Amino acid sequence: ASLVVGLDGCIKAVGQADVIRSQFSGATFESIIDCSGKCVLPGLVDAHTHPVWAGDRVHEFAMKLAGASYMEIHQAGGGIHFTVEHTRKATEEELFNTFKHRLERMRRAGSTLVECKSGYGLNLETELKMLKVIERAKQSMDIGISSTYCGAHSVPKGKTATEATDDIINNHLPKLKELKLSGEIHVNNIDVFCEKGVFDLESTRRILQAGKDIGLQINFHGDELHPMKSAELGAALGARAISHLEEVSDEGISAMARAECAAVLLPTTAYMLRLKQPPARKMLEEGVIVALGSDFNPNAYCFSMPMVMHLACVNLKMSMNEALAAATINAAYALGKSDTHGSIETGKQGDFIIINAPRWEHLIYQFGGHEALIDYVIVKGKVVYQNERCGTM
């Protein structure tokens, strides 16, 4: 088989090599890649990341290993609060440089479309600084980005959840609407950390509805540490996706299936925090659209969707086919981009990875092996990463 991408970055033809050869016999190509003995897959889609921040939390990893829970560290002023303090102090330039480096690492691991959240500012000034950094990468880098305003990631020190909610609705969202109209920042999604001791169901509902009213897709954190009925709320609000769902109820699963609301599962987080794994099998059996994300953040430092797929197969009991769909077409759906991304079809954007193996399953089977396995990463028909180990074009 072979495929052709046009200069506009879109797929022109996919099919049998001889048919395509005769169809394009008069065409000239900027480059031709011989994939004999290799596999071509859609570019991977990472449906949930927090990649803009300063202040890593390597010291907290030891605390977690010694038995401290996520919420214990959070309430002691660590966790999100620690990173917020450092991100507030960092300049836009510093944040952009580290973010760019992280995106490059994600791309080398096969991700060609990444959802990127703000959420380590919690005040308007820093949230906007993070969103500007994401906007700059959108404009200047060869990688797809879906940006998410996550100002309700945590309740800032000195505020109650209700005060934080009012601030977001009365100050943050009107400013985002204004910047969208002036063309300075284009945010795609709105996110809230709906959790006991963070934002309760009513605050979450108010923020998500206000975000939807200014044209943002709802895509939020729910039912992670406690059952909160987040899934039921998301389905009722017409959410595009809900992440985590380790503690989702049976009613929530049915509601998400009916509402065609995607479940973004994060096997790295459940693994690192030793949480109960989300009920992936039950979701799949009920017909929920299941997607995957790396949840890259200072608490879950993983760039690699191949590793996420491996963990999904082993810990969430997904099949390799289900994991690949969850990291491509379903993850694109969770971002509202499945019409252009997530599969190799004529008319879609030409985003691929070429792996140096005769069977695509090697991408999941070789745990942590993507450095030697991924030969090319291609975005809009342009080679954005070529492994020095692989043969030249």
Beta bridge partners of 220: 242
CA distances from 317 to 161, 208, 282, 309 (A): 37, 32, 10, 11
Query: What is the Cα–Cα distance from 344 to 41, expressed in whole angstroms?
Result: 8
The dihedral over CA atoms of 323, 325, 327, 329, expressed in degrees to the nearest 10, equals -170
Cβ atoms 103, 137 nearer than 8 A:
yes
- Domains of the chain with bracketed CATH: 2-40+353-386 (no CATH), 44-54+90-335 (3.20.20.140)
Compute mean pLDDT per 10 residues along the chain, 393 residues long, and list them: 96 96 94 94 98 93 90 87 96 98 98 98 98 98 98 96 98 98 97 96 98 98 97 98 98 98 98 94 98 97 98 98 99 98 98 96 94 96 91 51
Q: Identify the CA nearest to 338 among candidates 327, 347, 346, 330.
A: 330
Query: Inter-axis angle of helices 250-259 and 230-237, to 10 degrees?
Result: 20
- Edge-first strand listing for the sheet containing 262-265: 44-46, 111-117, 144-152, 189-192, 217-222, 241-244, 262-265, 290-292
Q: Would you say the C-alpha torsion 137, 139, 144, 147 has a positive or negative sign? A: positive
pLDDT at position 393 is 44
Query: What is the Cα–Cα distance from 223 to 246, expressed in whole angstroms?
Result: 6
**Tokens 């992440």 belong to which residue?**
243
Query: What is the Cα–Cα distance from 220 to 217, expressed in whole angstroms?
Result: 10
Query: What is the Cα–Cα distance from 165 to 122, expressed in whole angstroms?
Result: 11
pLDDT at position 311 is 98
pLDDT at position 78 is 87
pLDDT at position 75 is 83
The dihedral over CA atoms of 55, 278, 287, 323, expressed in degrees to the nearest 10, equals 60
Query: Looking at the chain, which runs of residues are DSSP E strands?
Result: 2-5, 11-15, 39-42, 44-46, 111-117, 144-152, 189-192, 217-222, 241-244, 262-265, 290-292, 352-355, 374-379, 382-386
Query: What is the Cα–Cα distance from 59 to 71, expressed in whole angstroms?
Result: 16
Beta bridge partners of 264: 243, 291
Cβ atoms 239, 259 nearer than 8 A:
yes
Cβ atoms 349, 9 nearer than 8 A:
yes
pLDDT at position 391 is 58
